[in-house]
Amino acid sequence: MANRALPLEIVVNYWLDRPVFVTGGSGLVGQWLLKALVKEKADVVCLVRDWRPQSELFGGDLISKVSVVRGELQDQALLERILGEYEVDTVFHLAAQTIATIANRNPISTFDSNIRGTWSLLEACRRSSLVKQIVIASSDKAYGEPETVPYTEDMPMCGNYPYDVSKSCADLIAQTYANTYNLPVAISRCANFYGGGDLNWNRIVPGTIRSVIRGQRPVIRSDGTPIRDFFYVEDGIAAYMLLAQKASAWKGEAFNFSAENPQTVLSFTQEIIKMMGSNLEPEILGDAPHEIQRQYLGSAKARELLDWKPLFSQTEGLQRTVDWYKRFFK
């Protein structure tokens, strides 16, 4: 995380030579977490299902600095081998099928990855004598659609649609393993991540930036009015690393992480377009079924109990993101 200091707890050699296992290392959040852990000189192994050559994990020198295991998250025997042979101390579970539209079309593969994958990993951790701290990446989607906003951690897990339900279930399973087996699991529920390295072009940030770079009108699948949190990925990484250090003290606890700056999808898209010096008008499709109208988080618990706060403003986060994609396409 160049040019920005990490919270004090993360700085003092905490991760030096620590054996860390990361699932989902080729995804948006996973690749940023790997970079941060490598920078802190942790001993990192990651699980990857698909080879994505454009991912920063494979496209740069990052892959030479971590151990990579190819395989399925649902393969519990493989997970137990990884935890044992690499003597893993800390686990970050980020792997998931994360696209709601794909989940709507293919619910079974989403359930298999997001739900069975989570219990397979937690069961492997339960059977390991070495794992000391686990962070499970849940989501704001796990809350479903409560009547009041912002969402707070005491609200129930009430997903209605395939992706939301998969995150609700995974979240509850994580709580179960903490409460029943005293497993040192802490749960993060983050707002909508954005940042360089996201190659899912149907997401609003990478899709908008790519369109502007190509001189095309950005596409908004919804009618533009849904209200969302947008959370810069490097802020999320600092939150994950801080939470991991405190997981044993907060077994079974969930924490929301958000910039607490809710805005409409249309206004956020327009901010990106303006930042890029374009006058293109978004193309609004109004075709996003099962879209939750108001969805954003309150992060008071994380601020008060973890002494956490974002490191970047939205303007800074977006500028760093735009700069990443300009380099990528150049």
Give me the active site residues, please.
163
**CA trace torsion 153, 157, 163, 169 (10° rounding):** 110
| Range 59-95 burial, b when 16+ CB lie within 10 A, else e | eeebbeebebbeebbbebebbbebbeebebbbbbbbb
Phi, psi angle pair for 155, to nearest 5° = -75, 150
SS3 string, 24-58, reads CCCCHHHHHHHHHHHHCCCEEEEEECCCCCCCHHH
When computed from its CA atoms, the radius of gyration of the chain, rounded to whole angstroms, is 19
Token digits of residue 115: 């739900």
Q: Which run of H or E residues covers position 83? A: helix 76-85
Using CA atoms, how far apart are residues 295 and 99, in angstroms rounded to an integer? Answer: 16
How many Cβ atoms from other residues are within 10 Å of residue 274's Cβ? 11
Give the Cα-Cα-Cα angle 90, 92, 95 (nearest 5 degrees). 150
For residue 150, cis peptide bond before it (omega within 30 degrees of 0): yes
Tokens of 81: 């081998």
- Rounded-to-integer distance, Cα 92 and Cα 81, Å: 16
Burial class of residue 278, CB neighbours in 10 A (0-12, 13-18, 19+): middle
